[in-house]
Amino acid sequence: MILEASNIKINNNGMIKSCDDFRLSSGGIIKINGDDDIAKALACIYDGEVSGSFLIDGKNLLDIYKIRNLRRRQEFLNSIVNYGLFFVPANPAKVMNRNSRLIDEIYLMIGRRAIVNILNTIIRREMFTYNDIENLIKYYKENKSFLDYWCILYGVYDYIRDIESYINSGDTESIFKILIMKKRGIDVGEAVILRNIYKSDLVKNNSRRITGIERLRYSFLFYFNRRIFYYIRDEISNELKGYIRRSGLNVDLNSMVYENSIENLRSLMFSLSIIKSPSIIIVKDHDEILEKYLDIYKNIGVSIIIVS
């Protein structure tokens, strides 16, 4: 994936703002000068006039601002989702309902792409073999950063330090037990059907049916084992907790948005970005919280644009 940005300008009540041209390759990091409006424009969520070129694989994502009121808008929004843009604002409280629980806000933001990733993780873990652990040990010896990727792949990031310790001590049986403990006994066939529904054009072209987890519960999940819905919720919570711990913060997902500091909310958004598995993360400001997540982004090949 190659990203090229040139001649980007936004109109904020008659005041023209712009940022320097830049080019970004897959897994790269770049810092540009700009304010919150520039960051939102690059994330394609700015509520105003934007011009210029923001090319990903030859498609200009900024065209969305030209077709905002046309019927094609939904088609373009879906293509943006497919490119996997994710925005972490300076103060995430501004994009959340401050009187909601954090976990409820997460369910609303999780999105189709992340649900597919979570179902793939569940399916992969239900079907793992001892060879998967042998491959982990093999690649870990060649590159220790592979452990980040492997734990995300199997949804066991909350056990990453234990797994690293077991690899170094040669206690592969304990790694096996962790994966066994994470199994939920889900019907893999049903999980595959559900995953394929989320990946299908039916879901892509009917966005109103995927705007919130609760709607999903009563639409697609109605036709399948209802337990899978609760497993997805648990998977989201457990994954988030594992990533958040890496930041050194203790975030209660059942707390209200207004009860949390900006640091907590930033950490939560970075953790959510890993679950959503974007191609590009656009971050407003470089701080210590972002620094804690940079290694993970590097290991999973995410590109980062830092606007400051």
Give the mean pLDDT of 187-201. 78
Domain boundaries, the chain: 1-92, 99-207, 218-275, 278-307
Distance CA 55, CA 61 (A): 6
> pLDDT tens, 246-285?
778 888 888 999 999 999 999 999 988 888 888 899 999 9
Which helix (H) or strand (E) segment is 25 a member of?
strand 22-25
E-strand stretches of 33-154: 49-56, 59-60, 85-88
- Among 74, 71, 107, 68, smallest CA distance to 203 is for 74
CB distance 42 to 282 below 8 Å: yes
pLDDT of residue 168: 93
Place of tokens 């808008």: 73
pLDDT of residue 65: 76
For residue 162, name the pLDDT band (cuts at 50, 70, 90).
Answer: very high
> pLDDT tens, 32-77?
988 888 888 888 888 888 888 988 877 888 887 776 655 555 555 5
- Among 36, 20, 34, 83, smallest CA distance to 281 is for 83
Percent of the chain with pLDDT over 70: 85
pLDDT of residue 202: 46
CB distance 279 to 303 below 8 Å: yes
Please provide residue 127's backbone torsions phi and psi, each rounded to the nearest 5 degrees: -115, 10
In the β-sheet with 303-307, what is the strand arrangement from edge to edge? Answer: 29-32, 303-307, 280-284, 85-88
Distance CA 307, CA 263 (A): 18
Tell me the whole-structure pTM to 2 decimals.
0.78
Which helix (H) or strand (E) segment is 142 a member of?
helix 130-142
